[in-house]
Structure 1
Amino acid sequence: MNIHDLQRDFVAYAMSIGVDKIGFTTAAPFTELKNRLRRQQELGYQSGFEESDIQKRTEPLQLLDEAESIVAIAVAYPSRMQNAPIGKRGARRGIFCRASWGVDYHTALRERLKLLSTWLEEHVKGVRIESMVDTGALVDRAVAERAGIGWSGKNCSIITPEFGSYVYLGELITNIPFAPDKPMEDECGDCRLCLDVCPTGALIQGGQLDAQRCIAFLTQTKGTLPDEFRSHIGNRLYGCDTCQTVCPKNKGKINWIHEEFIPDPELAKPLLTPLLTITNREFKGRFGHVSGSWRGKKPIQRNAILALAHFKEEAAIPDLIALLHKDDRPVIRGTAAWALGKIGGDTAQTALHEAEATEQDEEVRSEIYKGLQFFK
């Protein structure tokens, strides 16, 4: 089979197993990206979750020594939920970002990439393959952009004409010399809606993100959230979709395509108060299959406390007091203290004074002090 026929049949197979877009590019270094990543490091804009070695992130030959091509895939996920529950006083709800609806996309894309790898192994003797999703060394968006999957939007997402920016990305490096696709023209134009509405100003300029200020990153941290960001979290439990939901290119892109990503409304928009007392076993059993669970329950619980403070949910005061007095994690005790002050009321104030008399941890004491300042 010649390379042209192989590539054609490979694309057809990819579509048959639930890949929504596929593109090809060379294994040449990502030279411009290398300079951008160095600048990001210098500015302290990286999240710390990514591969720290810039060489590995930008030179495919570092990952596969015979690399000739990179195959980029995109799989669409939904932007809307059917039968979404409505939160109300006494039953407030948080929300997971759209990329965490349904099954963990890492699992779903790895399964597809494994099938693609197996197909190539069956059709090409001596083929070598290195595949990755999200946590791999290569920058998914840079690969997808060069492979013609979509253009890199000002919101730092890959935007496709067919599915908007609601796509998961993955890639495989191979020693097969596939014909490369052409990159797509940037269609953002003069639009800057995503820049203007970013809650924390994390989008510095088109295509440049300070991950340390991005709510999607902040919701995944495990420590006490810095004061300046607390009021911006809202009811977000994991991730942030603001720069996607305002994008005109996402208008009408609903993407109810893959059953595995259709969300369970009670998991995507869960009640907040029950999250405060959920056990590790319960958390894994309920949320373990979604990507938003990867950091464990602690960040989700901290964010749930902040969401209850955002709503000034008085019904949660007894649960927050219980956390303040009994939880063994300083971050949770401290966040509960701040939330009690934010919500207010005599019961909350009394609880803070009682905790002030017994709390030994300095960070928690600082949060108790902040909580009490709300009453002045």
Structure 2
Amino acid sequence: MDITKLKKEVIAFSQLIGIDKIGFTTADPFTEMKQRLIRQQQLNYQSGFEEKDIEKRVNPSLIFDGPQSIIAIALAYPAKIENPPKGVKGDRRGVFCKASWGQDYHHILKEKLQQLETFIKEKVEGARCKSMVDTGELVDRAVAERAGIGWSGKNCSIITPEFGSYVYLGEMITNIPFDPDVPMEDQCGECRKCLDVCPTGALVRPGQLNAKRCIAFITQTKGFVDDEFKEKIGNRLYGCDSCQTICPKNKGIDFHFHEEMEPDPEIAKPKLTPLLKISNREFKEVFGHVSGSWRGKKPIQRNAIIALAHFKEKSAVPDLIKVLREDSRPVMRGTAAWALGKIGGEEAKVALEVAELREEDSEALQEIRKGLAFFKENTAD
């Protein structure tokens, strides 16, 4: 088998099926990443969504029999919406992060990897492959970095010279000994804009993220949001783009190569108030195809309430009072109470006073009292 020829054929086929960048690396353990992950664990910086076994995350031989190499792929996604809708007073909008525009990227990349796998198996008898995107054991960023896709930026994203950091990543372990590509030199230099712009200080230092403080993580949780973070979320419904938007390597970057990644403006930047009333069925019909829906409607609705408070949107008060009175979920009642306190007004105050007498959930009650405290602060001022 001519490995050099096969590699060229794989690269050519990847371009044919719309893979924007491809790289190859060995199946050796990711020793440097292992140390980073151990340190993350010691500092309690993990999100909790990751594979728990660090060894599986860094050692391909533990998840694949006889690995010889890993193929990394990257697909560029759009960074801008043409004629985006704008929220106005009385009709506010939230926003999904760019990585959640268009169809769920997990499905898009898995399909590309499946096509690549079929091609390789047709070329090589006995070829074996294992593909993964995001939720697999290996760390996508570590594979992409070593395979020469890009360098790992200070914001913990892979940054490519061609597409900036607006790329989805996936990889495939194989039993074919492809020649490895050369990793890329770090090109961040002295720049620290991403660290400085992070709303919550989640970027602790270059290349180290405290995931528990990252808004991208917080918007995906289902419980009550700490007051500190409620003040920082703004109108984000899912994810956060701040550290990418500020990056000089992303200046002027906006590629529209894949039709399935094109955003529907009304889904990428939806109106907030209707989200408070959306049913499970409606949520799945409208948002089910985007990656930002994977945790269900609860986090999105809670974040919509926080966004309405951010705007101090008085027109939403009746809807928030309805949530406070009727929603069966303590997180929604409590968050609505906090929002009503932030927005203010006599109607909101009366609703909170009544709710304080009726509420039986201790955490929701605590939020109601926080909402009422805003009125006392305003009186003191």
Task: Please report the TM-score for the alignment, with normalisation by the length of structure 2.
Answer: 0.98
Q: Deviations over 1:201-258 (max 9, x none)?
A: 0000000000000000000000000111001000000000000000000001111111
Q: Deviations over 1:273-309 (max 9, x none)?
A: 0000000000000000000000000000000000000
Structure 1 segment 337-356 matched on structure 2, within 5 A: 337-356=337-356
Matched to 1:180, the amino acid is: P
| Equivalent residue number for residue 278 of structure 1 | 278
| Structure 1: distance between partners of 2:269 and 2:211 | 25
| Structure 2: distance between partners of 1:143 and 1:152 | 11
| Structure 2: distance between partners of 1:141 and 1:104 | 19
| Equivalent residue number for residue 373 of structure 1 | 373
Structure 1 segment 1-376 matched on structure 2, within 5 A: 2-376=2-376
**CA apart distance, 1:33:** 0.7
RMSD of aligned Cα (Å)? 0.5
| Structure 2: distance between partners of 1:161 and 1:34 | 26
| Structure 2: distance between partners of 1:191 and 1:279 | 45
Matched to 1:48, the amino acid is: G
Corresponding residue SS for 1:126: coil
**CA apart distance, 1:18:** 1.1
Matched to 2:214, the amino acid is: C
Matched to 1:195, the amino acid is: L
| Structure 2: distance between partners of 1:234 and 1:154 | 24
Corresponding residue SS for 2:375: coil
| Structure 2: distance between partners of 1:81 and 1:321 | 34
Corresponding residue SS for 1:23: strand
Corresponding residue SS for 1:355: helix
Matched to 1:153, the amino acid is: G
**CA apart distance, 1:54:** 0.4
**CA apart distance, 1:102:** 0.2
| Structure 1: distance between partners of 2:254 and 2:130 | 32
Matched to 2:87, the amino acid is: G
Corresponding residue SS for 1:118: helix
| Structure 1: distance between partners of 2:141 and 2:255 | 20
Q: Deviations over 1:34-58 (max 9, x none)?
A: 1110010010000000101000000
Corresponding residue SS for 1:8: helix
| Structure 2: distance between partners of 1:368 and 1:31 | 49
Any stretches of 5+ residues in structure 1 without a counterpart?
Answer: none
Matched to 2:271, the amino acid is: L
| Structure 2: distance between partners of 1:94 and 1:240 | 12
| Structure 1: distance between partners of 2:66 and 2:315 | 61
Matched to 2:306, the amino acid is: L
Corresponding residue SS for 1:375: helix
Any stretches of 5+ residues in structure 2 without a counterpart?
Answer: 377-381
Matched to 1:162, the amino acid is: E
Matched to 1:248, the amino acid is: P
Matched to 1:69, the amino acid is: S
Matched to 1:131, the amino acid is: S
| Structure 1: distance between partners of 2:187 and 2:354 | 58
| Equivalent residue number for residue 379 of structure 2 | none
Give every structure 1 segment of 4 or more consecutive aligned residues whose post-TM-superposition deviation is greater than 3 Å.
none
| Structure 2: distance between partners of 1:54 and 1:333 | 38
| Structure 2: distance between partners of 1:332 and 1:234 | 17
| Structure 2: distance between partners of 1:329 and 1:117 | 45
Task: Please report the TM-score for the alignment, with normalisation by the length of structure 1.
Answer: 1.00
| Structure 2: distance between partners of 1:175 and 1:49 | 29
**CA apart distance, 1:30:** 0.4
Corresponding residue SS for 1:222: coil
| Structure 2: distance between partners of 1:361 and 1:231 | 23
Corresponding residue SS for 1:372: helix
**CA apart distance, 1:373:** 0.4
| Structure 1: distance between partners of 2:322 and 2:68 | 59
Give aligned-pair identity as a percent. 69
| Structure 2: distance between partners of 1:115 and 1:66 | 22
| Structure 2: distance between partners of 1:81 and 1:232 | 24
| Structure 1: distance between partners of 2:97 and 2:153 | 19
